[in-house]
């Protein structure tokens, strides 16, 4: 029998028992949709956490720490295959404060020395401008402008007391191309370092988190020795350089797949390392276990639905005993009879699964739309909607897994009734009314 004729044959019989088949499809749909929606929670939460982790830093970034006072051998690290850049960053600690002045505004920022060439090699993105090429050119953080206040603004902010930084309007225009004055003071603000002028040629990327503020001032490490001299002029001679700044190293791999190899090499060099991918690996293991568990629970629902398919198919075979006898008498072999019945249960499985997938996507969409609002209304300091947490995600892998389980179980449910159909005795079947 041609495949198209087999499909027609199955559809004719499904049509004849519309109501019974409909309820069986409904049960399959409910089972499969339950499986997908349940597992989608694990997928959704994993995605939310993954995005949260990845938004903090680049996936290819590896933090490298020396295990002794000598620090790290930069040449050796750069020589590791697939390391495209090694960025050394020097960050200044309290009690030293960087004072920034622009026009009639002033404020503070966190000052760091860095190697712009290496940053460029690492492909660290800017929201505007370019990387500095001269020693007096700098990159500033996306939110530095908000920290630059006029005296009047500063006064009113003090009056309002605990006004959050985030609410400061500060400098409203672009800082790109502006020249700022920069000096440093100790905590008591009694002594100032020499005031130096810097031209802003680049603005850092906007922080991925709504609440985060980037007020950094990135200066070329070519200026480091000059500024250290300025420092040494105002700090207590007993305080050593290394006490007021710390150096950190970030290696950048060529791509995400190369990170593991680079990490291995760095560890072999007796260096301490941290990469977001290691955190992701742990997260993935946890969520893999969670997903397997939830899919298992969902499969139980599909198995319950399969009882319905088994029942429907057994009834179909019993009701069609005479027809099966006639089919056999006019030349249908046992394999064809078996195939037709398995196709019928597969038809129920496929239709149920397709409807379940559509319903699951609708439920997932509605859950992601409504749940954050509901939870924010219930929990006073929620902020769930703002945080962009996804409660349910249905990736194609989940659709494939659920479809295979659902259709597979449907086919298995129809297997025994189909076998029973092949064993029907033609003589007895033809004597049935």
Partner 1 sequence: MIHIQNVSHTFTIGKKGSEKKIPVLKNISFEVAKGEIISIVGKSGSGKSTLLNAVAGFLKPEEGSIIIQGKETTTLTESEYAIFRSENIGFIFQNFQLMPGLTAFENIELPLKIQGIDKHRRFEIVNKIIRKVGLETVFDHYPNELSGGQQQRVCIARALITNPPIILADEPTGNLDSETEQEILQLIALLNESMDITFIIITHDEEVANIAHRKFLMHDGVLKEVVQHAV
The one among 261, 334, 382, 408 contacting partner 1 by CB under 8 A: 334
> How far apart are CB 430 and partner 1 at their closest, in Å?
6
Which among 193-201, 203-211, 295-303, 322-330 is the span making contact with partner 1, rule CB under 8 A?
A: 322-330
The one among 195, 315, 400, 426 contacting partner 1 by CB under 8 A: 426
CA atoms within 13 A on the CB side of 53: 19
Between residue 35 and residue 54, which ones bind partner 1 under the rule CB under 8 A? none
Q: What is the phi/psi pair of residue 67, to 5°?
A: -95, 0
Q: State the Cα–Cα distance between residues 379 and 386, nearest whole angstrom.
A: 13
The residue among 96, 84, 31 whose CA lies nearest residue 307 is 31
**Considering the rule CB under 8 A, would residue 335 count as an interface residue with partner 1?**
yes
For residues 219 and 140, is the Cβ–Cβ distance under 8 A?
A: no
Which among 7-15, 168-176, 350-358, 401-409 is the span making contact with partner 1, rule CB under 8 A?
A: 7-15
For residues 154 and 170, is the Cβ–Cβ distance under 8 A?
A: no
> How far apart are CB 425 and partner 1 at their closest, in Å?
8
The one among 329, 358, 379, 404 contacting partner 1 by CB under 8 A: 329
The one among 11, 16, 151, 267 contacting partner 1 by CB under 8 A: 16
> Long-range contact list for 282-290, CB < 8 A, 24+ apart?
283/46, 283/49, 283/50, 283/53, 284/46, 287/42, 287/43, 287/45, 287/46, 290/42, 290/46
Q: State the Cα–Cα distance between residues 252 and 123, nearest whole angstrom.
A: 9
The one among 105, 265, 291, 328 contacting partner 1 by CB under 8 A: 328
**Considering the rule CB under 8 A, would residue 332 count as an interface residue with partner 1?**
yes
Cα distances (Å, whole numbers) of residue 346 to 108, 300, 325, 338, 354: 69, 18, 23, 12, 12
The one among 68, 173, 236, 331 contacting partner 1 by CB under 8 A: 331
Between residue 213 and residue 272, which ones bind partner 1 under the rule CB under 8 A? none
**Considering the rule CB under 8 A, would residue 336 count as an interface residue with partner 1?**
yes
Which among 9-17, 110-118, 252-260, 404-412 is the span making contact with partner 1, rule CB under 8 A?
A: 9-17
C-beta neighbour count of 410 within 10 angstroms: 33
Nearer to partner 1, 334 or 388 (CB): 334
**Considering the rule CB under 8 A, would residue 430 count as an interface residue with partner 1?**
yes
**Distance separating the N- and C-terminal Cα atoms of the chain:** 27
Both tokens of residue 86?
Answer: 């090694």
| 113: three-class secondary structure by DSSP | strand
> How far apart are CB 326 and partner 1 at their closest, in Å?
5
Nearer to partner 1, 3 or 396 (CB): 3
**Considering the rule CB under 8 A, would residue 59 count as an interface residue with partner 1?**
no
> How far apart are CB 1 and partner 1 at their closest, in Å?
5
Q: What residues make contact with partner 1 under the rule CB under 8 A? A: 1-2, 5, 9, 12-13, 16, 322-323, 325-336, 425-427, 430
């Amino acid at each position: 029998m041609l495949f198209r004729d087999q499909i027609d044959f199955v559809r004719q019989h499904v049509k004849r028992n519309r109501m019974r088949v409909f309820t069986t499809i409904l049960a399959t749909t409910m089972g499969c949709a339950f499986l997908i929606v349940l597992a989608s929670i694990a997928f959704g939460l994993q995605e939310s956490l993954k995005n949260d982790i990845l938004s903090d830093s680049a996936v290819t970034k590896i933090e490298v720490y020396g295990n002794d006072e000598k620090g790290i051998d930069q040449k050796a690290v750069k020589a590791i295959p697939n390391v495209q850049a090694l960025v050394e960053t020097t960050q200044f600690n309290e009690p030293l404060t960087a004072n920034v002045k622009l026009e009639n505004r002033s404020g503070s920022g966190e000052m760091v020395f860095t190697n712009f060439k290496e940053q460029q090699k690492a492909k660290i993105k800017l929201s505007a401008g370019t990387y500095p090429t001269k020693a007096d050119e700098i990159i500033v953080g996306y939110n530095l402008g908000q920290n630059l206040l006029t005296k009047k603004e500063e006064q009113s902010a003090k009056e309002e007391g605990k006004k959050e930084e985030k609410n400061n309007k500060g400098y409203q225009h672009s800082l790109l191309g502006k020249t700022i004055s920069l000096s440093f003071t100790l905590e008591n603000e009694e002594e100032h370092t020499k005031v130096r002028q810097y031209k802003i040629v680049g603005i850092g990327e906007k922080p991925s988190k709504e609440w985060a503020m980037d007020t950094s001032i990135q200066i070329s490490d070519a200026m480091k020795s000059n500024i250290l001299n300025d420092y040494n002029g105002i700090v207590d001679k007993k305080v050593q350089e290394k006490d007021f700044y710390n150096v950190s190293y970030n290696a950048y791999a060529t791509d995400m797949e190369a990170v593991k190899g680079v990490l291995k090499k760095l560890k072999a060099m007796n260096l301490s390392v941290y990469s977001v991918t290691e955190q992701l690996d742990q997260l993935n293991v946890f969520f893999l276990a969670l997903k397997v568990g939830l899919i298992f629970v969902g499969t139980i629902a599909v198995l319950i639905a399969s009882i319905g398919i088994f029942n429907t198919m057994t009834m179909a075979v019993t009701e069609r005993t005479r027809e099966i006898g006639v089919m056999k008498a006019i030349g249908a072999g046992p394999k064809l009879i078996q195939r037709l019945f398995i196709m019928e249960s597969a038809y129920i499985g496929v239709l149920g699964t397709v409807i379940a997938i559509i319903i699951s996507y609708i439920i997932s969409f509605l859950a992601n739309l409504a749940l954050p609002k509901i939870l924010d209304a219930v929990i006073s300091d929620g902020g769930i909607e703002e945080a962009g947490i996804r409660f349910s995600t249905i990736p194609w892998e989940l659709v494939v897994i659920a479809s295979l389980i659902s259709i597979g179980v449907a086919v298995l449910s129809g297997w025994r009734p189909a076998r029973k159909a092949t064993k029907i005795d033609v003589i007895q079947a033809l004597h049935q009314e």
